Amino acid sequence: MPSHEDGCSCGDYASGTNHTLPTNGYARQFSGVNTQSYQKHITSQEITALGLRGLGPVVTTLADCEGLQAHANAVRIRLNTFQQ
């Protein structure tokens, strides 16, 4: 997440590259250990200022509920810079 507008909070909570995992029994559709299990997989994402304006309130709410103030504050700081 290389841009100055992103912060890892969006990836952790709302945009899907980190903590959004398939659940609800989907693991049954995948095989066990194979050669791909030992390969490193890297995900990346970019969020625009407009995207952060949309996701920011969701991210701060979720981070506040989990008690992760640094994540919430990282997004709040970025959102405040847009209002100036």
> 21-34 pLDDT, tens per residue?
555 665 566 555 66
| Residue 71, domain extent | 1-20+45-84
Q: Is residue 30 part of a domain?
A: no
Q: Model's pTM, two decimal places?
A: 0.56
pLDDT of 75 reads 94
Q: Is residue 39 part of a domain?
A: no
Q: How many domains does the chain have?
A: 1
Tens of pLDDT, residue by residue over 1-12, are: 445 555 677 777
Q: Is residue 11 part of a domain?
A: yes
Q: Cα(11)–Cα(48) distance, rounded to whole angstroms?
A: 13
Q: Is residue 29 part of a domain?
A: no
CATH code where residue 52 lies: 1.20.5
The mean-pLDDT minimum among 15-19, 32-36, 38-42, 61-65 falls in 15-19
Give kind and range of the element (H or E) at residue 70: helix 69-83
Q: Is residue 40 part of a domain?
A: no
pLDDT of 28 reads 60
Q: Is residue 84 part of a domain?
A: yes
Q: Is residue 56 part of a domain?
A: yes
